[in-house]
A and B are shown apart, each in its own frame.
Chain A
Amino acid sequence: DAGVTQSPTHLIKTRGQQVTLRCSPKSGHDTVSWYQQALGQGPQFIFQYYEEEERQRGNFPDRFSGHQFPNYSSELNVNALLLGDSALYLCASSLKTTNEKLFFGSGTQLSVL
């Protein structure tokens, strides 16, 4: 039973570029959440997708957008990258749109130069 998988594992971009990160949830899960984790900080909630719609959103600008596909996989898109967007981006899957048990992937390390 595969857990949460994220791709790519590492990514280097330059300021102003756009990036797409991908996530496949744990088998049987229907909800995907995205988090941003800066070095030395706790994960910060970006948004959550359920039934292909954004259900909850944290305090992130519109440059951060997402999508969920019918197979429950998800993408995180970030436009007009800033140096401050450099972080570990984590995807978590769960069964409901609550803060119950989350299963996290290993993340995508994004570096913006």
Chain B
Amino acid sequence: LAKTTQPISMDSYEGQEVNITCSHNNIATNDYITWYQQFPSQGPRFIIQGYKTKVTNEVASLFIPADRKSSTLSLPRVSLSDTAVYYCLVGDSGAGSYQLTFGKGTKLSVIP
């Protein structure tokens, strides 16, 4: 089964740019890469989604290389409210079934 790998945790000071990389070596051809943000005792919240190259929205950018075996979520000028767990989500088409697999997540701590 395909799986994702992310750093367990990251620390950053307020105002800095944060880049979180996710590895997904067995991503399927038609899969999209989606990132979610989760605060304690809440459900994950959609941040950004992409298929290849670069996607940007009002809160983040997503960089995907040509081989699509990894992706990098970029958060510009983080604030204390960005302290959360960030998950990388890709489809899992191994073993003849299509499953939705979250990575273990990266706990981002923003320091004043």
Contacts and interface: CB of A to CB of B under 8 A. Distances in A.
Interface of B: 31-32, 34, 36, 41-46, 49, 87, 89-91, 97-105
A104 B43 contact: yes
A35 B100 CA distance: 10
Interface of A: 4, 33, 35, 41-45, 48, 56-58, 88, 90-92, 98-107, 109
B29 to A, nearest CB: 13
Given A98-B91, A100-B34, A4 B43 contact: yes
Nearest to B107: A40
B58 to A, nearest CB: 15
A19 B89 CA distance: 28
- Dominant SS among interface residues on chain B: strand
B6 to A, nearest CB: 9
B102 A56 contact: no
A102 B46 contact: yes
A69 to B, nearest CB: 21
A90 B43 contact: yes
B45 A99 contact: no
Contacts of A92: 43
A109 to B, nearest CB: 7
Nearest to A98: B91
A103 B46 contact: yes
Question: Considering the complex of A and B, which 8 residue pairs feature the smallest CB-CB distances, nearest first?
Answer: A104-B43, A42-B102, A99-B91, A99-B100, A45-B100, A43-B102, A42-B105, A90-B43
Kindly name the residue among B34, B41, B43, B97 whose own CB sees the greatest number of chain A CB atoms within 10 A. B43
A99 to B, nearest CB: 5
A69 B22 CA distance: 36
A90 B100 CA distance: 14
Contacts of B103: 42
